[in-house]
Amino acid sequence: MSMERREFITNSMVAPLATSLIASTAAAASDEGSQARPAPGRKILVAGGGFNTAFIRYMAEVTGKPRPKLLYLPTASADSQSGVITWYRNCATLNVEPSHQISFIASTAQDKSWEEVFLSVDGIVCSGGNTLNQQAIWKAQGIDVILKQAWDRGIVLGGASAGSLCWFEEGTTDSRPKDLSTVQCLGFLKGSHSPHYDAEPGRRPLYQKLIGSGQMKPGYACDNDAGIYFEDNTVKRVVSARVGAKVYYVSLENGKVVEKVMEPDHIA
């Protein structure tokens, strides 16, 4: 066999083999890289009261999307139409795709499952209102389970008042007759929460009393227009949309209630 023929046969066999090996190596590296990539961070943005345009804008930034889909869930307000209108008004100047989902639905009018609705957006903002009723409806409808899936997938969750309290283990609420009381919530965020810390006179003394007596876990109190951005259960940033609005970490140290101020960054 001539030298030229031997080289042709060798090259014709080696070249495809080399190409195959390179492709396999690249695929393996790609698979390894995808396995090594961390899962989307679990994100929650809460405010003590007033999840207004400034907070919606910040949520949009946190999603990392150029034009995020943000959904409003007004269960706690009994699907208040005025709240829905305010939601769209607050989103009007922002580069977002706003939508809303009511909870008082009929099968004949609701053609998408909860999974299809909540897992197709980039952020979910829950309204203020009656936290106790909100939790009961979510559990009855299975919405609580889908919200956990959304959180695990990196969909940003948030809200103010009932819309902030709902993500914690427990907190103070005005959901029952006559007096402020306690409510058990979803527990995505560990510890307790008190919204409206500067806006409703009874909030601060009750929260401190409950933590001081051991009836409630330590946690975060937010003034109206002030809030916290969490990744998993880590505070990543404290923010406010109003000068003077603050966030506090309230705990029990050496038998005494300690209220530590967490100075916020201003957002507009």
Q: Which tens digit of pLDDT belongs to each residue from 201-260? A: 889 999 999 999 999 999 999 999 999 999 999 999 999 999 999 999 999 999 999 999
- The catalytic position among 77, 103, 127, 161 is 161
Q: Residue 180 — very low, low, confident or very high, per pLDDT cuts 50/70/90?
A: confident
In angstroms, rounded to a whole number, what is the distance separating the alpha carbons of residues 108 and 81? Answer: 20
The pLDDT tens digits for 69-79 are: 999 999 999 99
Judge whether 196 counts as a catalytic residue: yes
Q: DSSP label at 32?
A: H
SS (H, E, C) 132-161: HHHHHHHHHHCHHHHHHHHHHCCCEEEEEC
Judge whether 20 counts as a catalytic residue: no
In angstroms, rounded to a whole number, what is the distance separating the alpha carbons of residues 112 and 115? Answer: 8
pLDDT at 178: 76
- The catalytic position among 77, 175, 192, 196 is 196
1 has a pLDDT exceeding 90: no
Q: What is the mean pLDDT of residues 20-31?
A: 36
Q: Decide the pairing of beta strands 219-222 and 247-253.
A: antiparallel
The rounded percent of the chain whose pLDDT value lies above 90 is: 79
- Structure pTM? 0.84
Answer yes or no: are the C-beta atoms of 174 and 165 closer than 8 Å.
Answer: no
pLDDT at 87: 98
